[in-house]
Amino acid sequence: MDNVQNTKQRFGIIGNDPQLNFAIGKALRVAPTEISVLVTGESGVGKEIFPRIIHQLSKRKHGKFIAVNCGAIPEGTIDSELFGHEKGAFTGATQTRSGYFEVADGGTIFLDEVGELPLSTQVRLLRVLENGEFLKVGSSKVQKTDVRIVAATNVHMLEAIHKGKFREDLYYRLSTVEINLPPLRDRKGDIHLLFRKFAADFAQKYRMPTVRLDEKAQALLEQQPWAGNIRQLRNIAEQLSVLEQERNIDVHILKQYLPATKANLPAIINQKEIGGDFSSEREILYKVLFDMKADLNDLKKLTHELMNTSSMDQAKAQHEGLIEKIYGEKSTEEEPYQLQSPTTATTDQQAFNDRYEYAEEIEEAETLSLQDKELELIVKALERNKGKRKAAAAELGISERTLYRKIKQFDLDK
C-alpha cells in the first residue's frame, strides 16, 4: 500500500478509491516485466498516466518513451508513421524516414486509441508483437526492434472484435495484462478531492484566490453522471476559477456550469433480447434501405431471367411476387404467358425492358436517398455538438478519421 501512495505522489494521482488503488497496484506489479499491457476505460479517466508509470518503473526507464495517438493519424499515413518508409515509396516520400518502432528501439511505445487502428496496420503490429519484426513502407528488408508496447482504448474491444473492426489475435497479444480504470461516477469519494486539486492549480496559474464549494454544492457535484469523467470535472473547475468573481460557490452558481440532466429517459434494452444488433435508429434505417436495394437487385436479376427463360409461367409468378413485395400491389396481367410469335415476343421484351429501366431508376433514387440521409445525419450531429468533430463522431458511432473523410466528401468544411 505504501508503494501505491508513493506512486500517487510521484505521478500526481488524486483519489483513494479502491478500484483506482487496485489498478495502480497492478501497474506496479507488471512494470518490471516485459509483458504487453492494455489500459481500458472511458474517455477522460486518465489512462495516459499508466503507460508512464509502467515505463518509469521498468528496466527501460532510460530508453525512449513515445506516445502515439492512433486516432489522430490519417489512415493513409499511419503505417509510415509507425514503421517508417523508403524514399519514393509513395507520392511525397522524398527521403527515407524512420518510424516510431525504429526510433523507440530499447524503450516503450504507448499506443493511445489503439482500437482506431486500420485492419492492415493491425496485421503489421501483430508481427511486431510476435517476433519484433517490421517492414518499412516500400521496403522488402525485414528489420528488428526491441520495444515494449503499452496500449490504451476507450472502445469495448470484444464488441469491436465481434463487428470485425479489431483482430482477435491482436487483442489477446496486447492484453496479456489488462488494467481497467473506473469512471469518475464510480469514484464519488474522489470527486471533491479532484475538484479541490484543480481549483488550487488554476488559482496558482491565474493568480487569484481558490474557489471553494459549500456542502450542498459538493453534494450536487457528486451526483453528476460525469460523461467526460476527470477531463469534464477539470473543465468545470477552470470555468468557475476564471469566470466567477465570488470565490465561495453555492449550489445555485454551480448549477449554471453543469450540463442539464435529462429526465424520463427511455430504458436501455438489451439488443440481444429484441433480436437485433443495432445501436441506434440510424442503423435500423440503413438496414431498411439496404434491404430495399437488395429487393431491387433481385427484381433486376429476375427480369433478365424472364427475358431468356423458356419457363414463362413460373418466371411470371416469381416476378409478380417481387412486385407485390416491393410496391405492395399485384400485377394487373391476368393471362398466363404463352409461347409467342416473334412480333409479340418483341413487344413483351420491350415491356420487360421498360420495367427493368424503372427498377434502375428506383435503385438510383434509393442510393441518392441513402446518401442524402447520411449527409443530413452528419450535419445535424455537427450542429448539435457546435462543430466539435470528435463529439459528433462519437454521437454518430464512427471514428473521428471517418468523419473527417465524410466532411471532405460532402464539402462541409467550408
Rounded distance between C-alpha atoms, residue 253 and residue 213, angstroms:
10
Do the Cβ atoms of 101 and 134 come closer than 8 Å? yes
Indicate whether 31 belongs to any domain. Answer: yes
Report which DSSP code applies to 117. Answer: -
Greater confidence (275 vs 262) lies with: 262
Indicate whether 64 belongs to any domain. Answer: yes
Quick check: 110 pLDDT over 60? yes
Return the axis-axis angle of helices 188-206 and 215-223, rounded to nearest 10°. 120
Which pLDDT tens digit goes with each residue over 323-371? 555 555 444 444 444 444 444 445 555 555 555 555 455 445 545 566 7
Mean pLDDT of the chain: 83
Indicate whether 296 belongs to any domain. Answer: yes
Give the Cβ contact number of residue 25 at 10 Å.
15
In this prediction, residue 313 carries a pLDDT of: 56
- For the segment 79-100, the average pLDDT, to the nearest whole number, is 92
* Residue with grid cell 488554476, as numbered in its chain: 202
Do the Cβ atoms of 13 and 7 come closer than 8 Å? yes
Do the Cβ atoms of 60 and 111 come closer than 8 Å? no
Indicate whether 75 belongs to any domain. Answer: yes
Q: Which domain holds residue 354?
A: 281-409
Looking at residue 212, which CATH number applies to its domain? 1.10.8.60
Maximum average pLDDT range among 44-58, 275-289, 371-385: 44-58
Rounded distance between C-alpha atoms, residue 306 and residue 308, angstroms:
6
Indicate whether 207 belongs to any domain. Answer: yes
Return the axis-axis angle of helices 400-409 and 342-384, rounded to nearest 10°. 120
> How many CA atoms, within 13 angstroms, populate the side-chain half-sphere of residue 255?
5
Indicate whether 170 belongs to any domain. Answer: yes
- Residue at which a domain ends, from 182, 202, 236: 182
349 and 204 co-located in one domain: no
Report which DSSP code applies to 97. Answer: B
138 and 167 co-located in one domain: yes
In this prediction, residue 337 carries a pLDDT of: 42
Backbone φ, ψ for residue 372 (5° rounding): -65, -40
- For the segment 246-251, the average pLDDT, to the nearest whole number, is 94
In this prediction, residue 261 carries a pLDDT of: 64
Count of domains for the chain: 3
* 179: Cα separation from own chain's centroid: 20
Amino acid type, 169? D
250 and 341 co-located in one domain: no
Q: Which of 50-54, 167-171, 352-356 has the least mean pLDDT?
A: 352-356
152 and 173 co-located in one domain: yes
Quick check: 64 pLDDT over 50? yes
Indicate whether 264 belongs to any domain. Answer: no
- Residue at which a domain ends, from 220, 237, 255: 255
34 and 120 co-located in one domain: yes
177 and 310 co-located in one domain: no
- Residue 374 β-bridge partners: none
176 and 195 co-located in one domain: no
Rounded distance between C-alpha atoms, residue 248 and residue 259, angstroms:
20
100 and 203 co-located in one domain: no
| 273-to-100, 165, 168, 270 alpha-carbon distances in Å | 45, 23, 25, 5
Cell of 376: 443530413
192 and 176 co-located in one domain: no
Q: Is 38 helix (H, G, I), strand (E, B) or coil?
A: strand
Looking at residue 128, which CATH number applies to its domain? 3.40.50.300
- Residue at which a domain ends, from 149, 182, 215: 182
Report which DSSP code applies to 64. Answer: -
15 and 148 co-located in one domain: yes
145 and 34 co-located in one domain: yes
Indicate whether 98 belongs to any domain. Answer: yes
* Residue with grid cell 465570488, as numbered in its chain: 246
In this prediction, residue 146 carries a pLDDT of: 96
44 and 99 co-located in one domain: yes
pLDDT confidence bin for 206, thresholds 50/70/90? very high
Q: Find the length of the chain.
A: 414
